[in-house]
């Protein structure tokens, strides 16, 4: 389970997140939906200990991320698929992560297979990867420790239509197995295809939250999202 409680983040007098609160239950997918610059990545970075909140708390499995022992075994994350050493192969990248987490090395080939990277691609240096391949490698690294929580920031970027369907199926199966999945996106259609719950954010504020069915039954998801993507929201921090 993930819980954000009244998170506010200010940068040099500018408010990036304003009193953000929501939860991501175990066994579910929560779509974190908003235009680029709405504050989604900032919230995820605070959750994972990459940034500090000005006020409020963010916890995962009841603790702050930094307080977890061997956090990669509890929380898998993908924030930036480009943050990988380009001179290493995909398999080398995962083997290094496996050693750091204490994961059996044979599990590396298992997760490569699971994300659809072939043995040949696994032995290719990351500098030769397409964006879609880097995304798959990042997802493989997130899954390596068999975590109970997944935090994925725009994981569909660079994937072709077949890859997007694969991702949707993977995320759904992980949630059905009990994982708590926080999935950010600026694409309404992709979120509503897989999410049990949706949190809509704009200008650093939560503007709507609830089950996908509840939000669709109200004003409608498209209407709510249209309100988020007005020109004033596009200039959000």
Q: How far is CA 221 from the centre of its chain?
A: 21
**Over 50: is that where the pLDDT of 202 sits?**
yes
- Residue 236 banded pLDDT, cuts 50, 70, 90: very low
What confidence tier does 235 reach under pLDDT thresholds 50, 70, 90?
A: very low
Distance, CA of 8 to CA of 210 (rounded, Å): 21
Contact 181, 212 (CB under 8 A): no
pLDDT higher than threshold 70 for residue 218: no
Report the 10 Å Cβ neighbour count for 96. Answer: 14
Query: What domains sit in the chain, N to C, each tagged with a CATH number?
Result: 1-67+149-156+173-237 (3.40.50.300)
Task: Pull the structure tokens for residue 162.
Answer: 């077949």
Q: Is the pLDDT of residue 6 over 60?
A: yes
CA 59 to chain centre: 15
pLDDT the model gives residue 219: 62
Q: Cα–Cα distances in Å, from 40 out to 36, 98, 176?
A: 8, 28, 24
The answer to whether residue 212 scores a pLDDT higher than 50 is: yes
CA distance 227 to 7: 23
Q: What is the pLDDT of residue 78?
A: 96
Dump pLDDT digits (tens) for 69-119: 999 999 999 998 888 899 999 999 999 999 999 999 999 999 999 999 999
Q: What is the mean pLDDT of the chain?
A: 91
């Amino acid at each position: 389970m993930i819980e954000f409680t009244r998170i506010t983040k200010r940068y040099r007098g500018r408010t990036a997140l304003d009193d953000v609160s929501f939860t991501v239950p175990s066994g579910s997918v929560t779509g974190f939906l908003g235009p680029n610059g709405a504050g989604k990545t900032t919230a995820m970075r605070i959750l994972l200990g990459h940034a500090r909140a000005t006020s409020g708390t963010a916890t995962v499995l009841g603790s702050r991320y930094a307080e977890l022992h061997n956090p990669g075994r509890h929380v898998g994350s993908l924030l930036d698929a480009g943050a990988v050493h380009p001179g290493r192969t995909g398999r080398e990248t995962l083997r290094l992560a496996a050693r750091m987490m204490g994961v059996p090395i044979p599990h590396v080939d298992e997760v490569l297979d699971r994300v659809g990277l072939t043995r040949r691609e696994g032995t290719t240096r990351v500098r030769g990867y397409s964006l879609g391949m880097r995304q798959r490698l990042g997802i493989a690294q997130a899954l390596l420790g068999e975590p109970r929580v997944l935090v994925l920031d725009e994981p569909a970027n660079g994937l072709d239509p077949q890859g997007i369907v694969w991702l949707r199926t993977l995320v759904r199966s992980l949630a059905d197995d009990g994982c708590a999945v926080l999935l950010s996106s600026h694409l309404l259609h992709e979120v509503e295809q897989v999410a049990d719950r949706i949190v809509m954010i704009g200008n650093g504020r939560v503007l709507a939250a609830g089950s996908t069915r509840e939000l669709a039954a109200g004003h409608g998801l498209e209407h709510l999202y249209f309100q988020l993507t007005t020109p004033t929201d596009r200039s959000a921090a």
